[in-house]
Amino acid sequence: MTAPVRIAQLSCGSEYSGVQKEINEAAAAVNAEIFFPDISLADIERDSALFGLEARSADLKLAIARAKALVEGRIDADAVFIGTCFRCAEAAIVRNELRRYIHENSRLPVVSYSFTERTTAGTLLTRMEALTTIARRRALLAREEQVGLTLGVDSGSSTTKSIVMRDNAIVGKGWVPTTDVLKSADEAIALALGEAGVKRSELEAIGVTGYGRFLIGEHVKADLVQEELTVNSKGAVFLADRQHGPCTVIDIGGMDNKAISVQDGIPGTFTMGGICAGASGRFLEMTAKRLGVDITELGPLAMQGMGANVPMNSYCIVFGTQSLVNALSSGCSPQDVAAAACHSVAEQVFEQQLQEIDIKEPVIMVGGTSLIEGLVYAMGTLLQTEILVPRYSQFIGAVGSSLLASGFIKGE
């Protein structure tokens, strides 16, 4: 068994919120161990003053001093987890600045999270998994070309995607709605294999990602079972041909959103989550249903409308839908409503998540929602940049899995 990845915890409130056990459990599940960098009282006084951020909370001062010790190499760690209470304004400032400081001044992968007392190990698992992957598998993540014949499966909350790749090219695709997780995976795989014209037995390696990864991984005997943060980063830079240099990957999913700051194909900082379903692809699905159009028609419809004509100021899927219904009943056009829905989702992701990472150009949008051009346009307008949507962007997780799985072909 390999040595556990050592994750330094910088936090405020985790013990008193009762979630420390959950943090430890999530880390242990991915063979990592949480530790608190050991520093002296004098370090706290000196380092928090040197850092220049006058936090009133003693625990935040301690977190600042610990971050400095990590960056200056006085304490060894493989990765950093920053956690503070949800709703604390002072902690939000410190959390953000520490993440930026560590990212800019060290090679340590860092993830931050604002927890409540209801945060569970399951919620934290994907983040911990991504941290350990970046720390442990840098060589694998440096892989730039797919070789041989490999299959990638992405089991998302809304759809299950499958991709067959041969010698760095996509030769088969499968995309089905997620119902029964295993059944959907089997269907998507069958579609991809059929299009590629290959048999299951011919595959040299299989990679899986997404929410159903553990179940499907066992079912198909996958060589690689990997969370979607690192996999999607890899898939995005591969498809957009941006393997080198910085970029930002945005994936607005059915259940949650991911915003990942990437350098040379390796994620540095990332956020995962979303305050409410009102900031997700699910809201756009509901909008399309209410407008009586297919989800694929929502984007073009939105491009014809003016979102500003529809008042929307809710961060909740229920109240957001209510706003849309009110707008329709007061005579707004379906085009305007579609545009407002796209703008609302983009704005929420911009305000709630993109403020937590450093946006580096190019910005690559991936996932099924990247096909909704109204959403891409709204995001581009908010970020004041042109958004890159690579071909096959909706298959990003499956492509990333297929690419990374080729590292497991025997003999390599």
Binds another protein (CB under 8 A): choice among 26, 62, 111, 372? 62
Identify which range of 59-67, 143-151, 351-359, 363-371 contacts another protein by CB under 8 A.
59-67
**C-beta neighbour count of 313 within 10 angstroms:** 9
Residue 113 in contact with another protein, rule: CB under 8 A: no
The residue among 94, 129, 92, 123 whose CA lies nearest residue 109 is 129
Q: How far is the CB of 123 from another protein (least distance, A)?
A: 13
Binds another protein (CB under 8 A): choice among 5, 7, 13, 310? 13
Identify which range of 49-57, 122-130, 366-374, 399-407 contacts another protein by CB under 8 A.
49-57
In angstroms, how far is CA 409 from the centroid of its own chain?
27
Binds another protein (CB under 8 A): choice among 5, 8, 12, 124? 12
Are the C-beta atoms of 250 and 365 separated by less than 8 Å?
yes
Angle between helices 317-329 and 334-352 (to 10 degrees): 150
66-85 mask for another protein (x: CB under 8 A)?
------------------xx
Residue 45 in contact with another protein, rule: CB under 8 A: yes
Q: How far is the CB of 18 from another protein (least distance, A)?
A: 4
33 bridge partner residues: 6
- Decide: residue 171, CB within 10 A, 0-12 exposed, 13-18 middle, 19+ buried: middle
Q: With respect to another protein, which residue has the nearer C-beta, 75 or 92?
A: 92
Are the C-beta atoms of 307 and 387 separated by less than 8 Å?
no
Identify which range of 112-120, 169-177, 187-195, 342-350 contacts another protein by CB under 8 A.
112-120
The answer for residues whose C-beta is within 8 angstroms of residue 155's C-beta and 6 or more apart is: 178, 181, 184, 185, 208, 209, 210, 211, 212, 213, 215, 216
Q: With respect to another protein, which residue has the nearer C-beta, 57 or 385?
A: 57
Residue 55 in contact with another protein, rule: CB under 8 A: yes
Residue 90 in contact with another protein, rule: CB under 8 A: yes
d(CA 295, CA 292): 9
Residue 59 in contact with another protein, rule: CB under 8 A: yes
d(CA 365, CA 371): 9
End-to-end CA distance of the chain: 20
Residue 308 in contact with another protein, rule: CB under 8 A: no
The residues binding another protein (CB under 8 A) are 12-21, 41, 44-45, 55-62, 84-88, 90-91, 115-118
